[in-house]
């Protein structure tokens, strides 16, 4: 009986820390964190992953936890580590949502919003479209296996209870914001430039033919051209998808290495 109690006091903190980090990943990772997946399912997945990888991790766990407060602080740190790693994986999806908002604004559809269940808020309709496209490509190309692999590999690179939040990690997170803008502008730039050219052409027509009802013509014209550009962008997206996923993997590995 006493042996069971000793083993429980030794292994239970390690399992709690593993569960905390995986829970942080589930909260912030793309696909897993979406509201379509209920909280109960996420908790169940985190519990199952903890049971699976726990025996492989606790053999290297040698952090002495002597108080409830110390255990709480370790749990909060592991939860924060999981949130940071999941944030790195989610950057690509946020970049395409921003690109959709740029294109929608140029098309004159900025006020046309729909409820986005992935963010649980109103999003421009073009942003919602691109988020769904990215999720579909992400699942069809089996890229979600990288997320599952990250659930396991991060424990090998960042030892349980031994992570250090270095100043470089903050710089990496800040650079993630520039990555979002860079990705959004690179993807949205062709459509934005073409629609801007259409705006210039419409303005020229308004000056040449003042009697022309330019407001009656401009909105349907920009919507039609915008839809054509979305179809063309789908072809471009297929060619860029491998590069985009590679950028996500590199950024996630940078965050993990920064906390080793």
pLDDT of residue 2: 43
- DSSP code string of 105-138: HHHT-TT-EEEETTTTEEEEHHHHHHHHHHHHHH
Q: What is the pTM of this model?
A: 0.77
pLDDT reported for residue 1 = 46
The answer to whether the CB of 121 falls within 8 A of the CB of 64 is no
**If we measure between CA atoms, which residue out of 111, 137, 141 comes closest to residue 126?**
111
pLDDT of residue 14: 78
Q: Supply the pLDDT for residue 9.
A: 63
φ, ψ dihedrals at 212, nearest 5°: -75, 130
Splitting the chain (260 residues) into consecutive groups of 10 residues, what average pLDDT does each group show? 54 80 82 74 83 77 71 82 81 79 75 61 73 80 78 78 72 76 81 82 78 75 81 78 79 78
pLDDT of res. 64: 67
The range of the structural domain enclosing residue 103 comes to 2-258
Block residue for tokens 């053999």: 59
CB 113 within 8 A of CB 124: yes
Q: 39-57 and 2-28 helices cross at what angle (nearest 10)?
A: 130
**DSSP helix/strand/coil, 63:** coil
Q: Which of 26, 248, 24 minimizes the C-alpha distance to 137? A: 248
Cβ neighbour number for residue 203 with a 10 Å cutoff: 12
Q: Report DSSP state, residue 32.
A: T
Strand pairing class (121-124; 113-116): antiparallel
Number of domains in the chain: 1
Interatomic CA distance for residues 95 and 255, integer angstroms: 18
Per-residue pLDDT, 119: 59
- Residue 6 has what pLDDT? 52
């Amino acid at each position: 009986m006493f042996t069971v109690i000793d083993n429980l006091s030794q292994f239970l903190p390690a399992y709690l820390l593993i569960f905390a980090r995986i829970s942080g990943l589930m909260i912030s990772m793309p696909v897993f964190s979406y509201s379509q997946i209920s909280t109960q399912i996420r908790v169940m997945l985190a519990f199952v992953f903890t049971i699976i990888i726990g025996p492989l991790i606790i053999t290297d766990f040698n952090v002495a936890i002597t108080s409830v407060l110390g255990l709480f602080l370790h749990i909060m740190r592991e939860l924060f580590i999981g949130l940071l790693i999941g944030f790195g994986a989610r950057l690509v999806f946020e970049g395409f949502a921003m690109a959709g908002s740029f294109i929608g604004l140029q098309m004159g559809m900025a006020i046309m919003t729909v409820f986005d269940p992935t963010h649980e808020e109103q999003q421009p309709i073009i942003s919602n479209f691109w988020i769904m496209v990215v999720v579909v490509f992400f699942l069809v190309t089996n890229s979600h296996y990288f997320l599952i692999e990250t659930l396991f590999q991060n424990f090998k690179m960042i030892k349980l209870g031994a992570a250090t939040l270095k100043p470089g990690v903050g710089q990496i997170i800040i650079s993630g914001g520039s990555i979002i803008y860079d990705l959004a502008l690179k993807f949205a730039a062709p459509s934005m430039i073409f629609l801007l050219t259409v705006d210039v052409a419409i303005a020229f027509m308004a000056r040449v033919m003042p009697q022309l009802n330019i407001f009656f013509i401009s909105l349907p014209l920009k919507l039609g051209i915008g839809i054509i550009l979305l179809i063309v962008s789908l072809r471009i997206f297929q060619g860029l998808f491998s590069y985009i996923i590679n950028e996500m993997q590199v950024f996630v590995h940078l965050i993990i290495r920064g906390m080793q």
